[in-house]
Chain A
């Protein structure tokens, strides 16, 4: 696979998007980028990554910020821009990679070799995964899952032209409920290999 390919994965909370991304990266022998992008941005800029993480994958608050001549006080906007810039530079470098979240499908839209995927899942399946992963009660898992989904949706829809989870924005939308995370990863890997072959 000498030609560059980039797999951009969007995901609902609890759907196993991160695990699927990791499995795909391993299978395809490429790097996985998710939250570690913040660390890479911070290392590049020689600043504290923890401080950046506070504003990562969040939409700006509705009040108490101001814009002047193309500048803004909304720190969420800055962290998003720093990440988007890093993602674009990665793509420009010619590296093939898997990226989870960060509006990557929108940031890289139009690039040759981009494959966009959204992972969803039945509600009960996702609740069970969250309960198991975080040792939470049913109610607490629902609360956590809904909160994260709201934040992700708001973030994505604020910084992207397309809507979060809308099938029109992705090459493939798949539920992980039926094949599980491993099975879904294998299915997607097969799809990616076919896509790469078709492009050659």
Chain B
């Protein structure tokens, strides 16, 4: 009984420290992870095997970790999910290479020119581009560039960039929910439960697609007056920078596009090729670094190692909860409340995940919920998949509701604030809460109709 209590106390302390934002979150999870290993698994349980299993280094020498010719839902294992960490690290390296070449800026400027800088088409085009890019690239990077260019265009074209930034943030989160690599909760869910890119695309991808259509209509309707007013202002289109001016180095630019497309192809076909996400992440990182020439060190230095360490500590703490049976208790509680009814279970998973993700980091929440839904589903793969899609949509979309719900929200509002456009809780929630509820309703209805 002492071990589950100690593991829970560490977990709750970790959450509180993350929410209070006084200590950097990677330090919080690493300290809590060390406490879990030393106190819970070492001193209380006296279990070196539980420590080893939680650190999970043995998975790295398992051939199936790198190459799985028969991809199936093999079920999660507790402890550090090295596949997720290696994949995220690999994508970070690729994205740094792309950013260095001017790719994102070029893409935004090109798209703006394509729609002739008219407000409504620009608004919709940037929403769709945000969702499309976030399917393959982390939403922080997508928003970092998109929000900055939106502000630049807003100054030149004399419109208020805030509604557009809010729509872009929402669509980045929505796009991220469509694929396995789009949002960290999806990588965690997919990697732990053995789902492929295609599994996500045909399940959460479909819901995200419907959500995107609804959101384009919603954001357009709620901002149509401002968009119309913006078009009335005289613009000097000639003064706008040309898309080609964004390209810093043509050789790097072409290489970064080829690497990006290669990553997309490898991810889309990974169920067929048998290459795991860890292999794809590592491979893409190696190719990026080899092609970077003298810029290797610059790219490596820019990799967000703090986020990677955050994941390491987080997985250990959640592993401690799993090893001590706490997550099984929570799963049993949900099973009791729902009476074993799949519809009720899905509704609980979607809406509770959404509510929690609106206020706390959705990454630890998803990592905690994966073993819970695995336990809830028992040996039934169909129920597990249904709960997995519910969890993915709940955590990914719930985070859209508030400024602190998802990383893209933090980065987007921060980029706007640095240019003097302050987006507080009121302004953010007024636009995003109804949008979140609409997409959550769409998710619930689709999951009920399709799987229950």
- Residues in A lying within 8 Å of B, measured CB to CB: 41-42, 45-47, 51-52, 55, 62-69, 71-73, 75, 78-79, 81-82
Contact = CB atoms under 8 A, between A and B. Distances in A.
A72 B414 contact: yes
Interface string B352-367: 0000000001000000
B89 interface: no
The 9 A-B pairs with the shortest beta carbon distances in the complex, nearest first, are: A71-B414, A45-B420, A47-B420, A78-B417, A66-B404, A68-B410, A73-B403, A68-B407, A71-B411
B407 A69 contact: yes
Contacts of A68: 140, 407, 410-411
Contacts of A78: 414, 417-418, 422
A65 B21 contact: yes
Chain A residues touching B, majority SS: mixed
Nearest to B417: A78
B21 A69 contact: no
24 contacts: A41-B420, A46-B155, A47-B420, A51-B422, A62-B20, A63-B20, A64-B404, A66-B361, A66-B403, A66-B404, A67-B25, A67-B410, A68-B411, A69-B306, A69-B307, A69-B407, A69-B411, A71-B410, A72-B414, A73-B403, A73-B409, A78-B417, A78-B422, A82-B420
A67 B21 contact: yes
B413 interface: yes
A58 to B, nearest CB: 13
Nearest to A77: B417
A59 to B, nearest CB: 13
A52 B424 contact: no
Given A62-B20, A64-B425, A67-B21, A73 B420 contact: no
Which of A68, A75, A78 has the most chain B CB atoms closer than 10 A to its own CB? Answer: A68
Interface string B250-265: 0000000000000000
Nearest to A81: B418
Contacts of B413: 73
Contacts of A82: 418, 420
B420 A52 contact: yes
Contacts of A75: 417, 422, 424
Interface string B418-439: 1111101100000000000000
B152 interface: no
Interface in B367-426: 403-404, 407, 409-411, 413-415, 417-422, 424-425
B304 interface: yes
Nearest to A42: B420
A64 B402 CA distance: 10
Nearest to A51: B422
B19 interface: yes
A71 to B, nearest CB: 4
B425 to A, nearest CB: 7
A42 B421 CA distance: 10
Contacts of B419: 45, 47
Given A52-B422, A82-B418, 9 more contacts: A41-B420, A45-B420, A47-B420, A47-B421, A52-B420, A66-B403, A71-B415, A73-B414, A75-B424
Nearest to B416: A78
Contacts of B155: 46
B21 A66 contact: yes
Contacts of B417: 75, 78
Contacts of B404: 64-66, 73
A49 to B, nearest CB: 9
A52 to B, nearest CB: 7
A75 B418 CA distance: 9
A142 to B, nearest CB: 31
Nearest to A45: B420
Interface in B53-84: none
Contacts of B20: 62-63
B296 to A, nearest CB: 21
Nearest to B422: A75
A5 to B, nearest CB: 30
Given A63-B20, A67-B21, A68-B140, A73 B410 contact: yes
A149 B137 CA distance: 47
